[in-house]
Structure formats: C-alpha cells, structure tokens
Structure 1
Amino acid sequence: MTGRPAPSVLPPSLRPSLGPVAVLAALVVVALGVLYSGHSAPGAVDSWIRPPTADSVRAPWRQVALALDFLGEPVGSAMVIAAGVVVCLVLRRPRAAALVVAGAGVTVGATTVLKHVVGRTIHGPGNLSYPSGHTAFATALAVMAALFATDRLGLGRRAGTSLVLAAGVVAGAIMGWAEVGLGAHYPTDALGGWCTALAVIPATAWLVDRIADRMPEPGRRDRH
C-alpha cells in the first residue's frame, strides 16, 4: 500500500519565481565579490551607510545586537538548527528537517569559501568580511521557515513568493544591522550574505526534493 507522497520543501508553485531570484542573487554576490576583492577599506556605499566608529550601537540596543550576533556563532547556530530540526520532526516533516541541516550547512560553507576567495578584510589582516556569514545564516533560516509555512498554509505562487522574500528581507536586515552596528562587517558584506542565502536555499531545497523523491518511501512494498 502506497502512502501519500511527502510534501516538497520547495513548493512547485514557487519554483518559477524563486529560480530567477536565486540566479539574480548569485550574480549580485559575484559582482560584489569582484568589486571588493582584496579590499581592506569601506567602499563608497559603505562609507555613506556605516558610521565611522567601529561600534556604533549603544545600550540598550547593543545587548540586542550582541544577542543576535550570538545566534550566528557556532554554539548559537547549533542551538537554532537543533530547534528547527525538532520542530520539523514533531510536525512530521523529515524532509523539512533535512533542509534545515543541509540549507544551513551549505550556506555557511558557501560564505566561508567566498570569504577566502574574495579576501576582503575589516579591522586588519585576517578578519575576512565578505560575505557576512551571520547575515546569510539568518536569511537562510527565515527563507526555509517561509518555505515551510507556504506549504503548511497552502499559499499560491504570489503569496508564497511574497512571504519568502519578505521573511528574507526582514531577517537579513535585522542581522545585517547587528553586524554592521557592532563593526563586524561593512554594509555591502551584509548585502552579499543576504544574496548568498537567496541563491543557496532554493537550490538546496530543490536538491533535497530530488534526492528524497528517488528514495523509497517508508512502508512502501514493491508489487510482484
């Protein structure tokens, strides 16, 4: 007896819209990477947006920024990922749980590789800054949550795409504010991190679906 197929983590209705978004985001990541390759100073846009001081956030908002920053650190991110996996499993969405792990891992891996390739630094040699891994991680989590909500709520293409992009913008803006305010990144680093997540998550979700679709479903028996 064959059960119902598991829901896709990348809803089919969103593929025509999120595909071009991912491609455009990847192009922005590459363009900014080429523009700031090997740089160790803010660009014109950074100087216009970012205050001259390294730590421009003051109490009580500094504590908020530090808390957000912690969520992007190894311990904090591990806690967030574990919580996401537990929620997905409780709601019986193992494919979504797999996306949480894979999406976070690929996003962090992509930003790490890009940092070494681009070689942009802040506050001295060795402090690689482009793209912002914290911003990418926060955006990735928000986008994955929005994809899950789109499926659960049965949203159509327009509403689902709007939810995914809105969630990504809000999460990226909040974490970007924290990282720039704490002096850890330039604004264009945050933009690069945001675009990295928008490029990586739809592609990773599509890959998770492809792999899961080829695996035998639990409880399925071959007919002979």
Structure 2
Amino acid sequence: MTGRPAPPVLPASLRGWLGAIAVVAAVVVGALGVLFAGHSEPGRVDRWFVLPTQDSVQGTWRHVALVLDSLGEPAGSTMLVAAIVVCCLLLRRPRAAALFVAGAVVAVGTTTLLKHVVGRTIHGPGNLSYPSGHTAFFTALALVVALLATGRPGLDGAAGTSLVLAAALVAGAAMGWAEVALGAHYPTDVLGGWCTALAVTPATAWLVDRMADLLVERTADAGLRERL
C-alpha cells in the first residue's frame, strides 16, 4: 500500500534563499574565528555592550537566564530534543524527528570543533568560548520548527524565509542574552553560534530530505522486484 509522500523538511521554494543565507553566515563564522583566534579578552565589538560578571545578574532575570542556559546543557538539551522527537513521531512526522536530532547534533558538533580550532577562551585557560554552542543549539531547534511551519500555504519564498529568520533571531537573542548575562560568553561568541546554526541547519535539512527520498526509492524498488 502506498500513501502520500512525506513533505520535505526543507521546502524547495526556500532552498535558494536559505542557501545564500547559509553561505553568508559561514563567512561570518569564519571571519570572527580568524579575528578572535587564541584571544582571551573581549574584542572591540564586545566592548560596545555592558559585559556582566558571573554574578551581576540577580533576581528574576537570573532565574530566567539559568533556565534558558539549562536547556543548552547536556541533560536539558537531551530531554528537550527527546520530547520534541516523541511529538513528531506521534504526529507521524519521521523526517521532522530525524531533523531535530540531526540538526542539534550537527550544530553542537560544529561549535565544539570550532572551539578547539579557534581557541578563544573566557574566564581563564580551558574555558573555550567561540562560538557559543548553547546559542547554536537553541537557534537550530527554532530553525527546524520554523521550517516545518513553512509547509503551510502562503509561507514560501520570501515569506517563508522571513519566518525562518525571525524564529532564528528570537531564539538566538534569547539564549544569547542568557549566555552573556551569566558571563559564559562574549557577545561575538553568541553571534558566531547564531551564524553557525544558520550555516549548518539548512544543509542538514537538505541531507535529511535526500536520505529519506533515497530510502523511499529503494523501498519502492524492492517492493516492485518482489511483485515481479
């Protein structure tokens, strides 16, 4: 029995737009990485902001920042992704479930690799800071949610791209604020993490679609051979 093909997680109408944005984002990540390689102090752009210490944010805002930060920690991020994946599977959206997992892994894995390559530190040796993995992770999840929403009528092309960028901006700003407020990252670390998610998530979505399509084709071919 054959059913309707699963919708792609990266709509064709958005591939060109998000591909161009991904290239620009990758250039920004690379440029900032070269600029701050081996540094342990805030840069000129970072000094435009009021850089708090680890204990300068108190009261309700500190609790908000800590909650957001916990979502990017291993335990919090694992539970968050697991809950989203279960929802996707219950809604019979296996591609979406695969993208949430792959998107999170690729975003965090890329920032982890870049941290060791760039070698920028904060609060002493060993505390690698560029780019922010928390920001990349949270932005990547928001990007995937927005990509799934773009499957609705009227949300293609420029409109869909605007929605995806808006979701990424809100998520990146929220997590980025928390990381800077808690003194865990410089503002440029946050920018690097945000751009990392913009660079790798569309490519990951395309790869998930490609692999899913190949699996469907092979399954269909196998079924045809059995009938023959």
Distance in 1 separating the partners of 2:116 and 2:57: 28
Q: Give the 5 Å matches for 1:1-224.
A: 1-51=1-51, 53-152=53-152, 155-216=155-216, 220=220, 221-222=223-224, 224=228
Structure 2 distance, partners of 1:9, 1:86, is 17
Percent identical residues: 72
TM-score, normalised to structure 1's length?
0.96
Cα distance in 2, alignment partners of residues 154 and 204 from structure 1: 24
- Aligned-residue offset at 1:3: 2.3
**Separation (CA, whole Å) in 2 of partners of 1:94 and 1:197:** 21
Give the Å deviation of 1:60: 1.1
Q: 1:108 to 1:8 in 2, by over 3 A?
A: same
**Structure 2 Cα separation of the partners of residues 111 and 17 of structure 1:** 23
RMSD after superposition = 1.6
**Alignment size in residue pairs:** 224
Structure 1 Cα separation of the partners of residues 32 and 190 of structure 2: 11
5+ residue gaps, structure 1 = none
Per the normalisation by structure 2, the TM-score is: 0.94
- Supply the distance in 2 between the matched residues of 1:176 and 1:52 (Cα, whole angstroms): 13
* Contact persistence 1:19–1:202 (CA under 8 A): yes
1:8–1:209 contact (8 Å) kept in structure 2? yes
Q: Structure 2: state its 5+ residue gaps.
A: none
**How far apart in 1 are the matches of 2:6 and 2:41?**
49
How far residue 56 of structure 1 moved from its aligned partner, in angstroms, is 3.1
Deviates most, 55-64 or 185-194: 55-64
Deviation of 1:157 (Å): 1.2
Deviations 1:36-59 (A, max 9, x none): 000000001111213253433221
Query: What are the superposed Cα offsets for residues 125-183 of structure 1, whole Å, 9 maximum, x if unpaired?
Result: 00000000000011000000000111145622122111100000000000000000000
